[in-house]
Structure 1
Amino acid sequence: MHSNPMHGLGRGRIQSIDVFRGLTILVMIFVNELAGVRGIPAWAEHAPADVDAMTFVDVVFPAFLFIVGMSIPFAFRQRLAQGDTPLQLNLHILLRTAGLLLVGLFMVNAEDGYSEQVMPLSIHAWSLLFYIAVIAVWSRYSSPRSMPVIVIRFAGMLGLLGLALVYRGGSGQELHGMAVQWWGILGLIGWAYLVACTGYRFAADRKPALLLLLLLIATCIAYYCIAQYPPVSGHALAGWIFSQPGHAAHSSIVLCGVITALIFFGDGSGRTAGKARSLQAIALILLLIVAGYCLSASYGISKIRATPAWCLYSSAACIGIFMFLYWLLDIRKVRGWAVFLQPAAANPLLAYIIPYIVYALTQWLGLGLPDVLHHGWAGAAWCAVYALLVLAMVAVLGRLGLRLQL
């Protein structure tokens, strides 16, 4: 998760992009906490996999993917402006992907599949040590090449290795170490980021770049559709080639974010977009909606199954939300209301992991909330308060100098 200094709420930054990121983080914390509340309406939960529908909750993860895509052109331009060679840029992409996959893998194994009784420490203590190691390795230090920082990062890496070695999953005679049950949200973002970066690198210096990126989105969707075809999924080689339809679907959302960034800020200056660019964005929204509708009949609408219609509808919604924020913040200059989102927008990885740290800490200490806060509107209200408290924690820790960056 990366926050590029070329855009944000501060001076010389693009307010609408950071506000979109901050709002996404705020809603994510809210809906994640809301998942543990009983007696809430169906529209406030993820739609079940077997239901042909989506709720606003199902758009939160796509919004993460979309904002990752919007950041890619800015991040590339900045690194190239700083003198990075193509090899260095490729290495940065691979290292960032590996970091997202690694953190996602640890988080998934901390949530499920562990055999705590044969581990030397509780899973909650294990999780807390893991997050301490994450902070040690991926903090943004003022002097990243100083010896103390090198020692801290090395200690964090050793900590991750040690935690991986003592982890046990499974049961009985089937005990094993850490396993790829799934990649977790960060891991899914990592794979989609890798695909989108590769696509953007291919299309950025070619004309017309937007059309090439649209073709890449179509390729991702086609990959998903082919993977659902029984003769393909049932064939050994073809089934292996088309074994990652979810990653392809998620990549299409990131690429939609890339296209949106190029539509509004194609020259990299961040200047106000004219009517022509707004019309291009509206045309893209309509294209995505029509394509999603055509595909929904065959593949349905499902976040859990990562269907094309869900991807395309979610991307269209994200473009519409960004357009409104761009008009409000960058055109009309109505910005005061969004200041409280700035710390989380500038420090998204920390904002993402804080709720997991709080959960592990409270479970380790045996603390819990009154039952009334796990039910109905009282529970929903607490979730909203909790999300704001997390943003406040991020702000305080940021002022103390703690910032994370993968």
Structure 2
Amino acid sequence: MPEPKPKALRVASIDAFRGMTILTMIFVNELAGISNIPDWMKHAAAEADTMTFVDLVFPAFLFIVGMSIPYAIAARERRGEGKLKIFGHILLRSVSLLIIGVFMVNTESGYNQEVMSISIYLWALIMYVCVILIWSHYSKGIPQWQKYTLRLLGILGLLILFILYKGGDGSGAMQPQWWGILGLIGWAYFFTCLFYLLFKTDMIALLTSLGFCIAFYLLMNINGLEPFPSYLAWLQGQSGNASHTAITLSGLIVSILFSRGLKNQHKHWILYILGFALFLFIAGFLLRPLHGISKIHASPTWSLYSAGFCCLIFLLMYLILDVLGWKRWFKYIEPAASNPLLIYILPYILYALLGFIGIAIKPDFMSSGVLGIFWSLLFSIVMMILVALLNKINIRLRL
């Protein structure tokens, strides 16, 4: 008997998880520039064999991306879209995340501003304007020709910025130094969607896919493994993407278990998710001697532990919102949950603008210690208020 499709509704627990994750991401990104703070508020060192709550933020977003996939694809199927059209949307969305990620990375390093015709701050500002033009969710009242014109202007703008960019000694072009956070999300989203299109809700196949991702990382990182031939070298660079995909797949699996529980009106799914979390923790513990816990190296234990913690966090969100009914607080983070891409890039837009006009908004005395932590918290709250205001004037980004 075929598995029923996820309901056409927004699940408060998932939205709350997304909103809390994106706000925490903004907080820890700002916190990265603060000195004299406890080690547990920083990313753990690559070889430290441990993780902090900061190392859990990016995996939490990957996890919530995986949880959202069945609902998003089911919505497209209800609109009558076939697999080919859905795959086209997945491919377009993944490429969009890769493009934005690479452009963002090149505003941070690799540029040679002395030989560029415009400052890197102005370059970044124009880039973000182009991103908004291309990926805005335009209201239905705007004529189609205007939407296409604005998107075309954005695309042309990115092409011009690509040409204007100078790196290295001034002769180098823009390149993917790394994919950026959005690009890494794009890869994980793409592979997880492929697994879902192939296997749908076949839990054995999805768990096997999760195991494949972990096995791929281990195979690509065998001690003493000779470098692959140049035409296959890219494979070794995909091990991190495999770990990220494992986290996203875990979110997908939890979403399916959750959806089954809603439809069958029983609570056994909570035990299934707890059992899945236990499985992830045990698998991570057993694999720890091989590569330790390392967010920087995207080790299997880090990815499995992160996915396990995310299972527990989601269950906590469900308990608070859906069981106890404590939903009033959610309205304060709903803007971040409903417009995550915009609120993610807002701090970068703000700092590019401030750099261009030569103004620093953070006082020196709030760059260290407790005051620096308070600043980071205040900054994330301000970003949430800004995105709420932008939501009201219908500025939303949707890939």
What is the TM-score normalised by the length of structure 1? 0.93
Q: Which residue of 2 aligns with 1:164?
A: 162
Amino acid at match of 1:177: A
Q: Which runs of 5+ in 1 are unaligned?
A: none
Report the alpha carbon displacement of residue 273 of structure 1 after superposing the two structures with TM.
5.8
Give the Cα separation in 2 of the matches to 1:234 and 1:138.
39
Indicate the SS of the match to 1:38: coil
Give the Cα separation in 1 of the matches to 2:189 and 2:329.
31
Give the Cα separation in 2 of the matches to 1:314 and 1:371.
35
Q: Please give the residue correspondences for 1:33-112 in structure 2 after superposition, counting only pairs within 5 Å.
A: 33-112=30-109
Report the alpha carbon displacement of residue 272 of structure 1 after superposing the two structures with TM.
8.3
Q: Is the CA contact 1:233–1:242 (under 8 Å) kept in the aligned structure 2?
A: no
Q: Is the CA contact 1:130–1:163 (under 8 Å) kept in the aligned structure 2?
A: yes
Indicate the SS of the match to 2:333: helix
Q: Please give the residue correspondences for 1:6-405 in structure 2 after superposition, counting only pairs within 5 Å.
A: 12-143=9-140, 146-171=144-169, 175-204=171-200, 209-230=202-223, 232-236=225-229, 239-266=233-260, 270=262, 274-368=266-360, 369-405=362-398
Q: Which runs of 5+ in 2 are unaligned?
A: 1-5
Summarize the Cα distance change of 1:352–1:233 in structure 2 as closer, same or farther, 3 Å threshold. farther
Amino acid at match of 2:239: P
Q: Is the CA contact 1:233–1:239 (under 8 Å) kept in the aligned structure 2?
A: no
Q: Is the CA contact 1:296–1:309 (under 8 Å) kept in the aligned structure 2?
A: yes
Give the Cα separation in 2 of the matches to 1:355 and 1:247.
26
Report the alpha carbon displacement of residue 274 of structure 1 after superposing the two structures with TM.
2.6
Give the Cα separation in 2 of the matches to 1:36 and 1:339.
29
Over the matched positions of the two proteins, sequence identity in percent amounts to 44
Indicate the SS of the match to 1:303: coil
Summarize the Cα distance change of 1:226–1:238 in structure 2 as closer, same or farther, 3 Å threshold. farther
Summarize the Cα distance change of 1:261–1:241 in structure 2 as closer, same or farther, 3 Å threshold. same
Point out the more displaced range, 317-326 or 271-280: 271-280
Report the alpha carbon displacement of residue 230 of structure 1 after superposing the two structures with TM.
4.0
Q: Which residue of 1 aligns with 2:3?
A: none
What is the TM-score normalised by the length of structure 2? 0.95
Give the Cα separation in 2 of the matches to 1:233 and 1:155.
47
Q: Is the CA contact 2:260–2:269 (under 8 Å) kept in the aligned structure 1?
A: no
Summarize the Cα distance change of 1:364–1:384 in structure 2 as closer, same or farther, 3 Å threshold. same
Give the Cα separation in 2 of the matches to 1:133 and 1:53.
39
User: How many residue pairs align between the two structures?
Assistant: 391
Report the alpha carbon displacement of residue 234 of structure 1 after superposing the two structures with TM.
2.6
